[in-house]
């Protein structure tokens, strides 16, 4: 077996885990198929490259003669440098023509986008960079809530640990899902994260260590109930007026909006992971009917449930 060459591109002030996560995943995956991978860390200048943590990683200079099976671009605060480096951008553009797959972790997507390789493609990056990325690269079809996105031979992933999710999917494509699953077990991570590919947790967004955290957890466990204001106020042990005022002030959402966000999160997870009909998911998550759920999805995600289900399926299939 000829090893698949995996190139990991780093630069000054890269995020260490953006590179170390994929390196570890491919190294462990290769244990189950000896000779499957040859991993190389590359940079523009070569030599030890300092990460944002101060820890250095050895590398060799990339060259125009490099031929990788898969090239992965790390991210981090240092992406501003390579994103304006003509030599790096030329290398990445050439690699796009010569490699089987091109991938980025976190803000490494900025380098791909600056090279013009994401124009017209679906992609993702760290959720905190969504607004800036969209303004800077309007031609990219950004999907900000995804852990990773595949569009043809180009793969992009969200922040930091998502590089491991991405690598497991690449390993699954190369060596089969059984090897990817065993690799995940060795790494002590999920083979496929619960809740599908979403970066966000509505409950975590709303929890603030305050008095309504138990109520929010109860709401999530009882989404099939009506969850009206009187119901929630009673559960919280408050009058309706006091509850409405205090909940909005502490949680940052009205009770109705909080209920909708929790239902959307639950419905999204079921769409990604369960073979249920959309109508059944609407009932299971408390929307009541599929049309009401469809309208909520359009408000939140800009797409109906069926489109998001097709998208999620496409992300994990070759």
Contact between 98 and 118 (Cβ < 8 Å):
no
Residue 212 backbone dihedrals phi, psi, to 5 degrees: -95, 0
| Whole-angstrom distance, CA of residue 2 vs CA of residue 67 | 13
Q: Which of 281, 259, 286, 258 is nearest to 270 (CA)?
A: 281
3-state secondary structure 38-90: EEEEEECCCCCEEECCCCEECCEECCCCCCCCEEEECCCHHHHCHHHCHHHHH
Q: Which of 270, 274, 273 is nearest to 192 (CA)?
A: 273
Catalytic residue from among 89, 106, 147, 170: 106
Angle at 9 between CA 119 and CA 106, to 5 degrees: 55
| Whole-angstrom distance, CA of residue 147 vs CA of residue 311 | 13
Residue 116 backbone dihedrals phi, psi, to 5 degrees: 80, 10
Please count the CA atoms within 13 angstroms of the CA of 176 that sit on its side-chain side. 5
| Whole-angstrom distance, CA of residue 293 vs CA of residue 312 | 18
Burial class (CB in 10 A: 0-12, 13-18, 19+), 193: middle
Whether 85 sits among the annotated catalytic residues: the reply is: no
Q: In what order do the strands lie in the sheet with 148-151?
A: 60-61, 37-43, 4-9, 70-73, 101-104, 154-157, 148-151
The catalytic residue positions are 106
């Amino acid at each position: 077996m000829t090893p698949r060459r995996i190139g990991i591109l780093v630069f000054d002030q890269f995020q260490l885990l953006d590179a170390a996560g994929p390196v570890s995943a491919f190294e462990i995956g290769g244990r189950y198929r000896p000779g499957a991978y040859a991993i190389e860390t590359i940079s523009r200048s070569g030599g030890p490259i300092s990460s944002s943590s101060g820890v250095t990683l050895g590398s060799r200079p990339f060259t125009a003669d490099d031929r990788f099976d898969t090239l992965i671009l790390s991210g981090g605060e240092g992406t501003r440098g390579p994103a304006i480096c003509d030599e790096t951008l030329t290398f990445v553009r050439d690699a796009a023509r010569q490699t089987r797959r091109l991938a980025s972790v976190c803000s490494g997507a900025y380098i791909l986008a600056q090279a013009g390789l994401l124009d017209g493609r679906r992609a993702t990056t760290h959720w905190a960079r969504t607004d800036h990325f969209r303004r800077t690269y309007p031609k990219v079809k950004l999907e900000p809530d995804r852990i990773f996105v595949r569009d043809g031979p180009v793969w992009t992933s969200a922040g930091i640990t998502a590089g491991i999710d991405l690598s497991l999917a690449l390993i699954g494509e190369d060596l089969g899902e059984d090897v990817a699953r065993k690799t995940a077990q060795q790494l002590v991570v999920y083979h496929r994260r619960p809740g599908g590919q979403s970066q966000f947790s509505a409950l975590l967004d709303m929890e603030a260590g305050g008095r309504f955290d138990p109520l929010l957890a109860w709401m999530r466990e009882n989404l099939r109930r009506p969850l009206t204001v009187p119901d929630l106020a009673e559960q919280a042990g408050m009058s309706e007026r006091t509850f409405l005022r205090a909940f909005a002030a502490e949680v940052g959402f009205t009770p109705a909006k909080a209920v909708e966000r929790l239902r959307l999160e639950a419905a999204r997870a079921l769409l990604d992971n369960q073979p249920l009909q959309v109508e059944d998911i609407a009932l299971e998550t408390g929307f009541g009917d599929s049309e009401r759920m469809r309208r909520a999805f359009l408000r939140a995600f800009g797409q109906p449930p069926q489109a998001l289900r097709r998208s999620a399926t496409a992300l994990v299939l070759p």
